[in-house]
Amino acid sequence: MNTDFTQHTVQLPNVRAEIHQFKATDTSKWHIMLHIDNSTLPFDEQLQSLNRSCEDIISTCPEKIQIVIKRYFISDASNQEAAIEEYERPSSYAVSIIQQPPLDNTKIALWVYATTDTKIKKLDNGLCEVQQNGLRHLWLAQKTAKGQDSEQQTLRIFDEYTHLLQEEGCSLKDNCIRTWFYVNDVDNQYAGMVKARNHVFATENLTEQTHFIASTGIGGRQKDSTVWTQMDAYAIHGIQPEQIHYLYAADHLNRTSEYGVSFERGTYVDYSDHRELFISGTASINNKGEIVHQGNIRKQVLRMWENVEALLLEGQAQWENVAQMAIYLRDIGDYPIVSHMFQERFPHKPKVIVLAPVCRPGWLIEMECIALKEL
């Protein structure tokens, strides 16, 4: 095992926390996944237990770390989202809330990303600014817009986001590193989101010849049932083009543009002392864009792992460098198999398994991850 990270599981009152601490020369980055261990608790007590545990972990860290983003995975946005918003008001960090029910029979799970040596503040335009090592990291959470369907809403989301970036001296093409799209009724509304994104990218000269943006497009909804698309995004002001690289794993995966969508399979960013890799939502697919192992969840997991590993290796990383992962299932009945497979292979790695349909019905599972390694 490399000496640049540690990972372990901590048991706290009513909560189990998986923690990954990465140490580089100039900074430390922490990924914490918190799970409720007592499913008999009502939602408000689950919420309080998670955040008390988060506060305990942050306060007892051997170094001073600050939260950059929290992402809540909840079971019933209509009844739960407002309570989280009230709890988190006001916060200097980014807060993302999405109805993607945890599949461990609880109502809520929480991913926390925190780091050292930063100045964090919420800008007037809603972006969360993290100043670190001469760069400004800009996080956007829960961006939505009005519109009659996912296409209209996505167009307006991008229009507003590109203007926010321009206000900060950035552009979608040069500075946006990663997006997450949560699509309500993904089986019917995903196509509209894709059409809008394709249009925006073509307008912004994001093409197969230039580059796209790493992304996950997955099922998820908000408390407002008329919201078809929600976007979270991450951009870096001051980053240089030579610091950003794209991952293809062409022997395993094809270019997404070959089947009409526009995102990169993965992106990594090089800093002076470390590399950060963002692996997009990845499923059981081959280099012809075909679903592999239709109907077999166990084999789809294995092929998905193979694809993710190929992307990591192209970025000169390995599974041990993965700091956190989110796993999306279409069928709740597949949870026992998937949970056992992930726990057996990655017992202490921060991870969450949620109910969230993938964009093609034949894909039973998809995962994304973030990895870190020293340079």
Instruction: Write the pLDDT tens digit of every residue in 272-330.
Output: 999 999 999 999 999 999 999 999 999 999 999 999 999 999 999 999 999 999 999 99
Rounded to a whole number, what is the distance in angstroms from the first to the last CA of the chain? 16
Domain assignment present for 265: no
Q: What is the CATH number of the domain that holds 318?
A: 3.30.1330.40
The pLDDT, as a whole number, for residue 1 is: 37
- For residue 251, being part of any structural domain is answered with no
- Is 114 in the same domain as 144? no
- Is 16's pLDDT higher than 60? yes
Asked if 265 contacts 282 with a C-beta cutoff of 8 angstroms, the reply is: yes
Same domain, 27 and 95: yes
Q: Give ∠ CA 178-181-182 in degrees, rounded to 5.
A: 145
Which of 230, 223, 226, 231 is closest to 148 using CA atoms? Answer: 226
For residue 40, give both structure tokens: 């008999």
Domain assignment present for 263: no
Please check whether residues 218 and 318 belong to one and the same domain. no
Q: What is the pLDDT of residues 77-122, one digit of tens each?
A: 999 999 999 999 989 999 999 999 999 999 999 999 999 988 999 9
Reply yes or no: is the peptide bond before residue 241 cis, omega within 30 of 0. Answer: no
* Residue where a domain terminates, one of 122, 139, 173: 122
Q: How many residues does the chain have?
A: 375
Distance CA 147, CA 107 (A): 30
Same domain, 160 and 44: no
pLDDT of residue 3: 53
pLDDT on residue 62 = 85
| Closest to 351 measured CA to CA, from 327, 328, 331, 330 | 327
On whether residue 227 sits in a domain, the answer given is: yes
Q: Are residues 136 and 20 in the same domain?
A: no
Sheet holding 351-355: strands in order across? 244-247, 266-270, 274-282, 365-374, 322-329, 351-355
* Segment (H or E) for 229: strand 229-237
Question: Does residue 132 share a domain with residue 154?
Answer: yes
Closest listed residue to residue 113, CA positions, set 123, 128, 102: 128
Q: How far apart (Å, rounded) are the C-alpha atoms in residues 113 and 65? A: 10
Last residue of a domain, one of 87, 122, 157: 122
Handedness of CA 332, 336, 337, 343 (dihedral sign): positive
Residues 287 and 371 in one domain: yes
What tokens appear for 93 in the block? 């960090």
Give pTM, 2 decimals: 0.97
Total domains in the chain come to: 3
Measured CA angle at 352 (ends 348, 354), to 5 deg = 155
Range of 67's domain?
1-122
End position of a domain, from candidates 70, 87, 122: 122
**For tokens 């209509």, what's the residue?**
78
Residue 186 Cα distances to 36, 127, 194, 203, angstroms: 27, 26, 11, 25
pLDDT digits (tens, 9 = 90+) for 143-175: 999 999 999 999 999 999 999 999 999 999 999
Q: Report the candidate in 284, 329, 299, 339 with the shortest Cα–Cα distance to residue 186.
A: 329
Choose among 200, 153, 196, 185: nearest CA to 359. Answer: 185
What's the pLDDT band for 359 if we cut at 50, 70, 90?
very high
Q: Give 350: exposed, middle or buried? Use CB within 10 Å, 0-12, 13-18, 19+.
A: buried
Count of H-run helices and E-run strands, the chain: 7, 18
